[in-house]
Amino acid sequence: MDAINAFNCTCVQGFTGLTCADDVDECIMGNPCKGNRACVNLRGGYKCECKEGFIGDGCMTPIELCDGTPCINGACVNKDDTVRCGCYDNYFGESCQYELPYYGYSVMLIGDVTDVDGFENDMGITLITALQADEDDVVVTVMEDVRYIADETRTELTKLTFIVLYDDGYISAAKISELLSTFPQDTMEHRIGYKLYEGEAEPVTDPVNEDDDDRGQLSANWYIILIVIIILICIIIVIVAAVLVYRRKRVCKKQIIENDYVDMDPMQVAFENKVYSDLTSSENVTQTSTSKENEC
């Protein structure tokens, strides 16, 4: 609009300023993009784009993050916007591309192996030596930890299957076997801290119940310990009570004798002194004392 020595501009939507040359930032003025949409400012306007992870009209449709993630031998798992491959049995790796029977080397050890981290560490040191590798180049990971029972001796056994990452690639079980065979058996057993078992064994098919049995045995042991403690406490109480009664009787007896002295005249005291040593065996005094002891 023209005016005297001045002008006013009426801006079209999206522009502002004296000459309407300035863009309005709609994303700051009041975000017009709601829901899963993100605002993008443009000169003279704006646009709404779907936020990452959403597509479709209104950006209401979540993108399946597993799309494009190859899980060769597994299923893609999309949880909390984190994608990973859940491998089928006997496969491992980022895309489940490795076959465990080919890469996994198993050892059967005698006893309940609870220090798996220690085993991995010790086996790593062994293989670093065998490969003449740098310390950081070898990583041992236990993939399976299965309990067995020795057929004949019924000894508890632990079968650990592990893989070895060396120089950014996994080495085969055959190669691991070859490397370990370069060590004398006793040397390796010493290094990994457990005795290897060679013989027939059967897997423990229901380890949960096995654990329950252990817990049941543990509870039974605690009951026995508790009963023994209670019996000991009872014995101590009886002994303490007996000692207290005995001491009480001695004090009473002493008081009775002292009172008898106070009641006597000097001649009697002299006489009684004579027989004092026999006092406890004196029938009369004993009878008198007994009657007074009862008062105690």
Binding site for Ca ion (CB under 5 A): 23, 41
First-to-last alpha carbon distance for the chain, in angstroms, is: 124
Is the Cβ of residue 23 or residue 120 nearer to Ca ion in the bound state? Answer: 23
Shortest distance, position 32 Cβ to Ca ion, whole Å: 11
**Rounded distance, CA 122 to CA 238, Å?**
56
Residue 19 CB, nearest approach to Ca ion (Å):
16
The 3-class SS string of 114-143 reads CCHHHHHHHHHHHHHHHHCCCHHHEEEEEE
In angstroms, what is the minimal distance from the CB of 42 to Ca ion? Answer: 5
C-alpha to C-alpha distance for 103 and 170, rounded to whole angstroms: 7
Decide if 157 contacts 149 (C-beta within 8 A): yes
Nearer to Ca ion, 41 or 286 (CB): 41
What minimum distance in Å lies between the beta carbon of 71 and Ca ion?
43
Nearest Cα residue to 43 out of 13, 16, 9, 14: 14
Residues ≥6 apart with Cβ < 8 Å to 205: none
CB of 38 to Ca ion, least distance (A): 15
Nearer to Ca ion, 23 or 272 (CB): 23
Whose CB is nearest to Ca ion?
23
| Residue (45 or 111) nearer to Ca ion, CB | 45
Contact 90, 173 (CB under 8 A): no
Between residues 31 and 259, which has the closer beta carbon with respect to Ca ion?
31
